[in-house]
């Protein structure tokens, strides 16, 4: 008898793998009934990951977005699911246990049925809380295995994790192939091993298309017993995102599986609406390279969604690297040269850092170390000269146990710096915090929201929530959109002062400040240059005081009110500028410490 395969539309991940933002709630409400009318989806990934942070960055309420977005699917009997990062929950750094527990209660009340929980290190200790909190909150618990390809990531390795999380009480297992580098035959063997040992456990496959394996992988896991496959729709299918439901449905139907029909009129309308959201504003933040597949991702194993920010990083560093090479009498490098060199450095760095699965946030850590290594080596400086604080926390075991062993060189480097390794439960290092947030909300006379959802948002995304409440987030987003439209040559109407930095002359700057260091910024496409102040007269007083001997910064491009922050040798660098002030070429607008 033919077996049925069901589809899940990963609408949230389609956007967050492709760009910086997701559709606004008014746009999501337009497309929801059309997705339902397509008739081929049993599940839709609606929220999680950075979805709620993005809404706060819009200056809009994420709780309103989740409730109104999930409601039509709940009514139609289509399950909704969210993505969460285990110890890190919905952000990039660890979350206290009481905030994590509240998250599941809030999301269940808001209409989210399934919690897809992954740990970027596949540490079952971080997943235990996710399973138990999800079940207590009234959600289906789906544990996601972060899939990668290495000598240590074997079927036996993953089955050990499955045994642990099934013991904790999870309902489902997801194979989260975030970079799409899981080999099809291997994924089939893993799926079969799970279904043979735990036939009652549902298995769902989530694989990005970047390196090109995902279609074959979907056929293999389906034949091995998978129950659900994650798919996308145009115009955000393929590329670095996910296979399109049309192709996967036809492939499985031809192989003898039962699959639901697709209402093509509804598909085309969902496609049209999605394109209209891109045309409205989202397209200004989508890197064109994300629409292309690349076999280069097979070797480095980096998720395709990182390609946009990675290219921006490389473009920012290229000028400094070439200036240094010219000073050394060496040949300059092209952007393509740097891409290949970075991928090779990732391949070198990754095993020496203990083979962390290359998924958020650990993929960013590995890439950042490789990028800084590349910069230092091209300048004639040693590897490992710059490792940021978050990466050190990973190395030291503060966010979970690494799958592999650290290279002795890294262990020695840690000891030379006087750093201590941690082998306790990662959650124990982050005490409860909800009482602190409750106290401040009462003092500010802020509403806790239905089911404590506003309390949750404040505790989960403290900085972004403050900016949302103050109104500065909406101002910042509108200015960022104006800047993006201006850069793209689109007609815009400027309704507020915009801080602008004209074209930055890297060669001239480095010549004037040979000791300046390029520092990665948290703002995509921006590079901050750090250097010391020899004379106070060099630094205009914009927004704060500066003293001789302070470290100051200038930037290549800067728009809006954002306090740009970045880690460099353990220091936090903040950029400040007065709203409405015009920053001239080469003018210093930043101060630190």
Among the candidates 361, 386, 411, a domain finishes at: 386
Query: What is the phi/psi pair of residue 114, to 5°?
Result: -120, 135
Given this model, what pLDDT does residue 20 score? Answer: 84
The reported pLDDT for the residue numbered 380 is 85
Considering the domain architecture, whether residues 301 and 381 belong to the same structural domain is answered as yes
User: Which pLDDT score, from 0 to 100, does residue 304 have?
Assistant: 64
Does residue 545 surpass a pLDDT of 90?
no
Q: How far apart are CA 463 and CA 480, in angstroms?
A: 18
As to burial, measured by CB atoms within 10 angstroms (0-12 exposed, 13-18 middle, 19+ buried), residue 183 is middle
Q: Are strands 114-118 and 140-146 parallel, antiparallel or unpaired?
A: parallel
Q: What is the DSSP string of 233-295?
A: -TTSBSTTSB-BHHHHHHHHHHTT-B-----HHHHHHHHHHHHHHHHHTGGGGS-GGGGS--T
Pairwise CA distance, residues 274 & 395, whole Å:
41
CATH number, residue 217? 3.40.50
Whether residue 67 is contained in a domain is answered as no
How many helices (H) and strands (E) the chain has is answered by 22, 14
Establish if 76 belongs to a structural domain.
no
Confidence at residue 335, expressed as pLDDT on a 0 to 100 scale: 86
Domain boundary among 386, 416, 438: 386
Joined tokens for residue 489: 């040559």
Which among 146, 126, 51, 74 is positioned nearest to 363, based on CA atoms? 146
Do 298 and 365 fall into the same domain? yes
Block residue for tokens 């240590």: 152
- Predicted pLDDT of residue 506: 59
Residue 518 lies in a domain: yes
Distance CA 147, CA 448 (A): 38
* Per-residue model confidence (pLDDT) at position 507: 64
Q: Which of 360, 386, 412 is the last residue of a domain?
A: 386
Domain assignment present for 336: yes
Q: Percent of the chain having pLDDT more than 90?
A: 64
Closest CA to 106 of 559, 458, 433, 374: 458
| CA–CA separation, 9 and 267 (whole Å) | 12
The answer to which of 92-101, 254-263, 284-293, 405-414 has the lowest mean pLDDT is 284-293
pLDDT band at 534 (very low <50, low <70, confident <90, very high): very low
* pLDDT score for 307: 64
Q: Would you say residue 141 lies in a domain? A: no
Tokens of 505: 């002359």
**Cα 498 to the center of its chain, rounded Å:** 28
What is the per-residue DSSP string for 461-477? SHHHHHHHHHTHHHHHH
Q: Is residue 467 part of a domain?
A: no
151 with 238, same domain?
Answer: yes
For the cut 70, the answer to whether the pLDDT of residue 226 exceeds it is yes
Q: Closest Cα partner for 44 from 83, 18, 16? A: 83
pLDDT at 565 over 80: no
Number of domain units in the chain: 3
Contact 208, 179 (CB under 8 A): yes
The count of other CB atoms within 10 Å of the CB of residue 236 is 28
Q: Please compute the mean of the pLDDT values over residues 556-564 and round it to a whole number.
A: 37
pLDDT number for residue 242? 96
User: Quick one: which of 303, 330, 324, 300 has its CA closest to 241?
Assistant: 303
The parent domain of residue 545 ranges over 506-591
Note whether 131 and 165 are within 8 A (CB): yes
Residue 13's SS3 state is helix
Same domain membership, residue 318 and residue 377: yes
Residue 458 counted as domain residue? no
Cα dihedral 119, 123, 129, 130, rounded to 10, equals: 30
Give me the pLDDT at residue 531, please.
46
Q: Return d(Cα 33, Cα 532) in angstroms, integer.
A: 57
What digits encode the pLDDT tens for the residues 244-298? 999 999 999 999 999 999 999 999 999 999 999 999 999 998 888 788 898 888 8
Least confident of 292-296, 464-468, 545-549: 545-549
Rounded Cα–Cα distance for residues 50 and 248 (Å): 27
Reported as a pLDDT band with limits 50, 70 and 90, residue 309 is low
3-state SS assignment for residue 6:
strand
Task: Please tell me which residue, 452 or 592, carries the higher pLDDT value.
Answer: 452
Query: Does residue 315 or residue 178 have the better pLDDT?
Result: 178
Query: Looking at residue 417, what is its pLDDT?
Result: 94
Mean pLDDT of 518-532: 46
Length of the chain: 593
Local confidence band at 74 (pLDDT 50, 70, 90 cut-offs): very high
**pLDDT of 48 strictly over 60:** yes
Mapped onto helix, strand or coil, the DSSP state of residue 176 is: strand
Identify whether 306 is part of a domain.
yes
Percent of the chain as helix, strand, coil, to the nearest 5 = 50, 15, 40
Average pLDDT of the chain, as a whole number: 85
Q: What is the DSSP letter of 232?
A: B
Whether 543 has a pLDDT exceeding 80, the answer reads no
In angstroms, rounded to a whole number, what is the distance separating the alpha carbons of residues 546 and 568?
Answer: 19
Report d(CA 276, CA 269) in Å as an integer.
10
């Amino acid at each position: 008898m033919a077996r049925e395969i069901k589809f899940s539309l990963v609408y949230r991940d389609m956007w967050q793998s492709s760009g910086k933002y997701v559709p606004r709630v008014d746009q999501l409400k337009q497309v929801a009934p059309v997705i339902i009318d397509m008739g081929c989806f049993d599940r839709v990934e609606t929220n999680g990951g950075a979805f709620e942070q993005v809404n706060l960055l819009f200056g809009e309420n994420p709780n309103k977005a989740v409730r109104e977005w999930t409601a039509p699917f709940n009514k139609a009997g289509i399950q909704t699911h969210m993505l969460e990062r285990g110890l890190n929950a919905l952000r990039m750094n660890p979350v206290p246990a009481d905030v994590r527990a509240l998250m599941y209660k809030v999301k269940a009340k808001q209409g989210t049925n399934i919690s897809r929980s992954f740990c970027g290190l596949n540490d079952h200790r971080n997943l235990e809380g996710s399973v138990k909190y999800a079940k207590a909150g009234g959600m289906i618990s789906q544990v996601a295995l972060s899939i990668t390809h290495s000598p240590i990531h074997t079927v036996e390795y993953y089955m050990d994790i499955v045994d642990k999380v099934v013991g904790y009480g999870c309902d489902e297992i997801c194979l989260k192939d975030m970079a799409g580098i899981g080999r099809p035959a291997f994924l089939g063997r893993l799926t079969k091993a799970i279904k043979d040992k735990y036939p009652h456990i549902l298995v769902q496959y989530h694989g990005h298309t970047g390196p090109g394996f995902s279609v074959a992988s979907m056929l293999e896991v389906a034949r091995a017993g998978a129950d659900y496959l994650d798919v996308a729709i145009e115009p955000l299918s393929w590329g670095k995102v996910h296979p399109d439901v049309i192709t996967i449905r036809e492939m499985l139907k031809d192989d003898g599986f039962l699959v639901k029909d697709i209402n093509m009129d509804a598909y085309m309308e969902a496609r049209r609406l999605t394109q209209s959201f891109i045309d409205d504003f989202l397209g200004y933040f989508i890197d064109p390279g994300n629409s292309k597949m690349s076999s280069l991702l097979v070797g480095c194993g980096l998720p395709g969604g990182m390609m946009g920010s990675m290219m921006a990083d490389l473009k920012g560093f290229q000028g400094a690297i070439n200036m240094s090479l010219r000073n050394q009498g060496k040949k300059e490098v092209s952007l393509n040269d740097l891409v290949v060199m970075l991928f090779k450095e990732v391949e070198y760095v990754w095993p020496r850092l203990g083979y962390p699965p290359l998924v958020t946030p650990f993929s960013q850590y590995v890439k950042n170390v490789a990028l800084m290594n590349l910069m230092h080596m091209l300048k004639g400086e040693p590897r490992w000269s710059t490792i940021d604080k978050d990466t050190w926390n990973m190395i030291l075991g503060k966010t979970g146990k690494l799958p592999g062993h650290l290279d002795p060189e890294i262990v020695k480097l840690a000891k030379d710096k006087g750093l201590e390794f941690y082998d306790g439960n990662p959650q124990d290092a982050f005490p409860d915090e909800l009482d602190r947030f409750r106290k401040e909300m009462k003092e500010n006379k802020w509403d806790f929201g239905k089911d404590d959802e506003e309390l949750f948002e404040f505790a989960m995304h403290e900085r972004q929530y403050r900016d949302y409440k103050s109104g500065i987030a909406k101002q910042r987003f509108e200015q960022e959109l104006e800047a993006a439209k201006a850069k793209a040559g689109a007609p815009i109407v400027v309704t507020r002062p915009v801080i602008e930095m004209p074209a930055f002359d890297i060669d001239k700057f480095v010549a004037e400040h040979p000791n300046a260091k390029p520092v990665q910024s948290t703002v995509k496409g921006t590079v901050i240059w750090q250097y010391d102040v020899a004379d106070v007269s060099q630094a205009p007083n914009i927004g704060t005081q500066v003293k001789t001997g302070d470290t100051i910064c200038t930037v290549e491009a800067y728009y809006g009110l954002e306090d740009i922050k970045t880690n460099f040798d353990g220091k936090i660098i903040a950029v400040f500028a007065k709203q409405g002030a015009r920053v001239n070429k080469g003018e210093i607008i930043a101060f630190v410490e």
